[in-house]
Structure 1
């Protein structure tokens, strides 16, 4: 029997927008109408009551390629109009572009709303919310859901359509052109760069950015929006997706491959030899760029990054701060450090979410690529490739991730008990790394090789996530039996995934 789940709430709202055999819809036009009322309540709380009462509140709405997007958008537009709000319908858009709709003077939206569920399956959709000061926090979303009353200002709202993506693309081109002006009007001429949009919203990047700058984009794939995602999951952290872009780069003998997630707030790259530049490698590339431009800066990452990355960043004169997983967490840590006067230029997760201080602290996959495009002509002039930027980053011999299901209603407390017990356990070859703010991180030594592992709670699911790296082959297989024996003492842990390794 199909289940109806509650909406998933964090710094955005996600739910089932298309019923399946397993799940009933929980994000329909009915819920969207209530969310629209909550968004107005939130904006009034943010100081826009007078503007709302005057009928001058402007909200921009965009969507990714999901099949439910149009119906949900039409319901949201109708709800905002009925409540006396002016709406700009931007059609197919990206999450970063929707934030920029609050910054571009020709739109100057008081809020930008993106309908997306990122990389989740086609039957999901969601709502991401921006104001001129940045993205909504979890407490803002909670307020929106708790204050979903419909508002009246005695006025009828209006709606119009506009092309945001072309304006957003032109802004990126201008920034790249400024950084590469010594290489002429076509600084990417002679470069062969492939884009994989995964049938999401990122297909524009090939034509409106790369081709304008002179790049050859032959071999780009899955650029057309298709909300069924027929080719692969649009997720730079997915093995099948990365294998697809890697194969395209090698087949076309391209200089670079770019793969976006559905709403283009995440990205990964592939070098000319097929080397995948995601996770620690992407962090290293961007850290190199940042530390060349900002000597001694801090880089904030989430916690499950390699020890070798820390060594790499410090060798470049920077400092890494490992913080709690979740893109809003690492971004907010960067903002907090800058507010303390500590120069922090980049916040990035291993998932591919990356935000630069210079770019509104916004996690923007297209801007990440733009930062790399800015230096490509310089690399070429030196006879180098993007791989040379991370030549000094040591790679582990083995990596593994295991997700352990927690069969308890109060899974967070149960998972924390497991973490606390592991911290107190006394195992030969395990030593706690105290430079860690999430879960428990252990440094591995003989007889378990050289490496580390991290046990942490999943942000939203009833799971414990175990991530292991080792610099010696076959050593993870020696660690797992020790951990399995420990985990077996907790009867509500499902060890099936561990036993398959």
Structure 2
């Protein structure tokens, strides 16, 4: 097949265009391609389990319009290869991993058809084994097998059975909340009296309202956009999106809810909203998660991505008396770093990105939005008995006066090399400029603390993981500080002709 398979790799996932409808985007993830990927995944996982007679694979999908056809093609390829297939239909990405470690299912591999928060015409595949999500090299290997295309059917067809695994997964969360809230008055329904608003963004997360919270006695009548709809007609299912966050904040305020919950499309990310309608996402969500985990594991290391604030670092290090380890962007990066630290004897129970990806050691280091929200709800119910709210845990978190991200496009053909050159030269400039100080122990790009001309803050310039972009994050402790820092940086960037500076110029 004359096809560029490598174009489908997006880090440790596969992503592609599954439907027409957006100008300039040609379909490169159709049923034929997905069927070949099904054969390749079976072949790859069979190699990993060479002593196993029958390979069991679980397959699920989110609400995307292309999901049913692509899932059917993937499943048919698996069955024809000889696999025992569990069709989990509508599911979440974390739930699909759980099929590999939950009895009696114990799948050798699992696949979730999703493209997270990307537009309706996109789709993709996330792969799991009992050891966790696949790494970049694993994806490259599967694509290489698909490209060669010499996989052969076993000659013996496999089997197909339907499993409502999202119900199994929901019951695991229900029992966790019952056990840990441990309400003496109402063990079975410990959330009675709470009004909780869930926004699933028409993705796969609607189950959490009815199969988890309502079962536990919560009033979820104010929830919105629970029905799966791959057109995403109300807003992008993305906790980082401003419109999406405004929608859930408005719903919490309008309904006087105790808590708001918003998921991304496949529920591996989440954010929450407090009882006053204020968003708890990004640095606030990291701080809250760290505070909850630190009560259980005092002093442990919290691994975050590179764009977390200086205030968050102070909160974790000084207020919680834990250790903040700021690492790289990318949820797999922070997860793998936390695993590495544990292997070296440094206790780490939480790996979390400001995007809402959060993985806990107690939960297989699986980035699971519903599990994180469950931890928050348990703590909310426990605090309620003392008349406190969740936000009381982070009331000492310093909040910057201003914070903004600029995405600077790179026009050069070799965008990675060009971006690295820009970052390197900015590092040299920062080392010699008065009032600028290079951050120690920085693992990504160049991070600089600024204290000059009445402005106190920091900036981080890094290379995007996948796109021809160098994101610039600026944070200031004083009004107007972002503008002042951006002004200083613009004069530097103007020396590079292959940078598109419109985002900075139009700030």
Q: TM-score, length-normalised on structure 1?
A: 0.97
Q: 2:125 aligns with which of 124, 127, 143?
A: 127
Residue 200 of structure 1 corresponds to which residue in structure 2? 203
Q: Is the 8 A contact 2:284 2:394 kept in 1?
A: yes
Match of 1:489 in 2: 495
The aligned runs of 1:55-66 (5 Å cut-off) are 56-66=54-64
Alpha-carbon distance between aligned partners in 2 of 1:97 and 1:410, rounded to the nearest angstrom:
39
Structure 1 residue aligned with 2:285, among 282, 286, 295?
282
Q: In the alignment, is the contact (CA less than 8 A) between 2:476 and 2:482 conserved in 1?
A: yes
In the alignment, what sits opposite 1:218?
Answer: 221
Q: 2:479 aligns with which of 468, 473, 476?
A: 473
1:402 aligns with 2:403: no
The equivalent position to 1:349 in structure 2, one of 346, 350, 353, is 353
CA distance in 2, matches of 1:23, 1:209: 39
The answer to whether the 8 A contact 1:448-1:478 is kept is: no
Alpha-carbon distance in 1 for matches of 2:365, 2:487: 42
Bigger CA drift: 220-229 or 175-184? 175-184
Report the equivalent of 1:170: 171
Match of 1:334 among 338, 342, 345: 338
- The answer as to 2:254 corresponding to 1:248 is no
1:373-452 equivalent positions in 2, closer than 5 A: 373-425=377-429, 426-447=432-453, 449-452=455-458
Task: Give me the whole-angstrom Cα distance separating, in 1, the residues matched to 2:490 and 2:364.
Answer: 44
* Corresponding residue of 1:370: 374
RMSD of aligned residue pairs (Cα, Å): 1.2
- Partner-residue secondary structure (3-state), 2:324: strand
Long gaps (5+) in structure 1 = none
Do the aligned residues in 1 keep the contact of 2:10 with 2:466 (CA within 8 Å)?
no
Structure 2 Cα separation of the partners of residues 230 and 251 of structure 1 = 21
Contact 2:455 2:484 in 1 (8 A): no
CA distance in 1, matches of 2:486, 2:341: 37
Contact kept, 8 Å, 2:474 with 2:485, in 1: the verdict is: no
Instruction: Give the CA deviation at 1:45.
Output: 3.0
Q: Using the alignment, how far apart are the partners of 1:333 and 1:402 within structure 2?
A: 27
Q: 1:299 aligns with which of 298, 302, 307?
A: 302
Summarize the alignment of residues 106-121 of structure 1 with structure 2, pairs less than 5 Å apart: 106-121=104-119
Does the alignment pair 1:187 with 2:190? yes
Q: Distance in 1 between matches of 2:39 and 2:91?
A: 23
Question: Offset of 1:73 from its aligned partner?
Answer: 0.4
Offset of residue 428 of structure 1: 2.9
1:63·1:93 contact (CA, 8 Å) conserved in 2? yes
Pairing 1:29–2:31 present: yes
Cα contact 2:9–2:139 (8 A) shared by 1: no
Spell out, residue by residue over 1:288-308, the C-alpha distance to the aligned partner (whole angstroms, 9 max, x if none). 001111011000000100000
Mark the runs of 5 or more structure 2 residues left unpaired by the alignment.
Answer: none
Query: Whole-Å Cα distance in 2 between the matches of residues 441 and 414 of structure 1?
Result: 18
Q: Match of 1:105, SS?
A: coil
Aligned residues: 494
Question: Given the alignment, which residue of 299, 302, 309 partners 2:312?
Answer: 309
| Corresponding residue for residue 39 of structure 1 | 41
- Secondary structure of the residue that 2:50 maps to in structure 1? helix
In structure 1, the partner of 2:263 is 260
Q: CA deviation at 1:377?
A: 1.9
TM-score, normalization: structure 2? 0.96
Secondary structure of the corresponding residue to residue 6 of structure 1:
helix
For the residue of structure 1 that corresponds to 2:460, the secondary structure is strand
**Partner SS for 1:88:** strand
Contact 2:203 2:228 in 1 (8 A): yes
Name the CA shift for 1:141/1:8 in 2 (closer, same or farther; >3 Å): closer
Structure 1 distance, partners of 2:314, 2:10, is: 36
Deviates most, 221-230 or 170-179: 170-179
**Could you tell which deviates more after superposition, 214-223 or 371-380?**
371-380
Give the corresponding residue for 1:152: 153
| Contact 1:297 1:319 (C-alpha < 8 Å) held by counterparts | yes
Distance 2:112 2:269 in 1: 15
Q: CA deviation at 1:50?
A: 3.2
Contact map agreement 2:99 2:106 (CA 8 A) in 1:
yes
- What is the CA deviation profile of residues 223-261 of structure 1, one whole-angstrom value per residue up to 9, with x for unaligned ones? 000000000000000000000000000000101000000
Superposed displacement of residue 6, structure 1? 3.0
Separation of aligned partners in 1, 2:322 and 2:75: 46
Describe the shift of the 1:448–1:157 C-alpha distance in structure 2 as closer, same or farther (beyond 3 A).
farther
Preserved CA contact (<8 Å) 1:40 1:151: no
SS in 1 for 2:158: coil
Secondary structure (helix, strand or coil) at the match of 1:182 reads coil
CA drift of 1:448 comes to 5.1
